[in-house]
Amino acid sequence: MRLLINNYRFKIIALILFGLLLLIGFNLTSLHSLDNYDLVNLSINRFKNLTDNEIILKLLDFDIGSEKDDENVIQNDNEDDKRILLNKTQYEEIFKQVETKQYNMVAKSKAKATFVTLARNSELWGLVNSIRSVEDRFNRKFHYDWVFLNDDDFSEEFIETTKSLCSGKVKYGKIPKEQWSYPDFIDIKKADKARSRLKELGVIYGDSESYRHMCRFESGFFWRHPLLDEYDWYWRVEPDIKFYCDIDYDVFKFMEDNNKVYGFTISLMEYQRTIPSLWRATKGFIRQHPQYLHKNNFLKFISDNKGKTYNLCHFWSNFEIASLNFFRSDKYREYFEYLDKTGGFFYERWGDAPIHSIAVSLFEDREKIHHFGDLGYTHDVFTSCPIDKEFRKKQRCSCNPQDDFDWTVGSCTWRYFELNRLKKPEGWQNYKDW
């Protein structure tokens, strides 16, 4: 009798568990497809009268808004800069998990990888310093190739000088005119007015045409250049940057062997005035293509309210080590083409950094995004410097840890660590009021 009762209880519990699984949608074989989802049996209220696309967004807890948000995507309203107030209480919690990292001085094989630099002839001497820094700290050990791109022909001086500094094969390419000019659908007069308005507001590069062409190229075309066809990985290098620490492991192989997609070193907030409609356009794209949302996405890094608004956090793309195949994918290509048609690169001043960051945060597994906090890096006024004294000594770092930006209020790197439950370096609290 006791055995029968136990069996009966077991059956009841099993039925209850099965019912719960049905309610929360775990009978989906994949959140990227609803082909096998029996909508007839899904009669619970929260899915009632929803389309397949809307159900995916519900399951992924993404507040996509309504189709009305897509109307008049590009706005010309004079919006004040949005200031994000960070919750300082979050600084108090230190997580224990640390990402495993292997320092392999000599890799068994090299990755299909290259450095990529977009530069003009006039930037040669600023670029010379960048190349020397990369070669001295890293590439003299690994001899990876270097691809230089320009919207004009490179001068003999540029080619001779850069070739003498690079230890790997060097290639020079010219950008097709159609990738560095106004597309046919852009209203030139409207674009002129937009530049004038941002100049009056004092926005950096607000009146620059070339900067907009650069951002559009870095967002949607660099990875299409034929010189990159043979590579799977790239490391972006710009003029006037510097690396401070010895890099004794193959970062490309690290990305490849650890199944990473995107690597960054500095993260910060974008100027709101340059991208007032970017998030609205992004939500319009997601509404049409919810299948591209990864089920383990990093939405919380770029939004504090389940996708209602963009919190302006982005990975600074002047340094990025990433998979070219991610940018070649249908999801990224279609995302760029959707954004491009809105005119935001020219009617506003959309940068490639927030676009890369939003795309990888929504379309990829969050675990495939990696923070390189061990390189020591400076671009413009921002520096990433390891604050661990023993590490700096071991890797012969020449940066001042007091200049480190990673753990300050203006940085988003602390958010990356907390959302991934990674342990912050000892002494990080001393930098938050930088």
Task: Enumerate the active-site residues.
Answer: 320
Q: Do the Cβ atoms of 334 and 289 come closer than 8 Å?
A: yes
Q: Distance between CA 249 and CA 104 in Å, rounded? A: 5
C-beta neighbour count of 125 within 10 angstroms: 10
The CA-atom distances, in angstroms, between 194 and each of 23, 125, 207, 348, 429 are 49, 33, 8, 6, 41
By C-alpha distance, which of 228, 218, 221, 220 is closest to 113? 228
Residue 345 · residue 219 · CB < 8 Å = yes
> Helix or strand or coil: residue 316?
coil
Burial of 340 (0-12, 13-18, 19+ CB in 10 A): buried
CA distance 140 to 96: 36
Q: d(Cα 16, Cα 78) in Å, to the nearest integer? A: 55
Tell me the C-alpha distance between 243 and 252, whole Å. Answer: 16
Kindly report the backbone phi and psi dihedral angles of residue 235, in degrees, each rounded to the nearest multiple of 5, phi listed first: -125, 115
Sign of the alpha-carbon torsion through 191, 195, 196, 200:
positive
Distance CA 230, CA 294 (A): 27
CB under 8 A, 24+ apart: contacts of 277-280: 277/73, 277/74, 277/75, 277/342, 277/344, 277/348, 278/310, 278/339, 278/344, 278/348, 278/350, 278/354, 278/355, 278/358, 279/309, 279/310, 279/358, 280/69, 280/70, 280/73
Report, in angstroms and rounded to the nearest whole number, the Rg of the chain calculated over CA atoms: 24
DSSP 163-203: HHH-SS-EEEEE--GGGSS--TT--HHHHHHHHHHHHHTT-
State how far the Cα of 401 lies from the Cα of 413, in Å rounded to an integer: 16
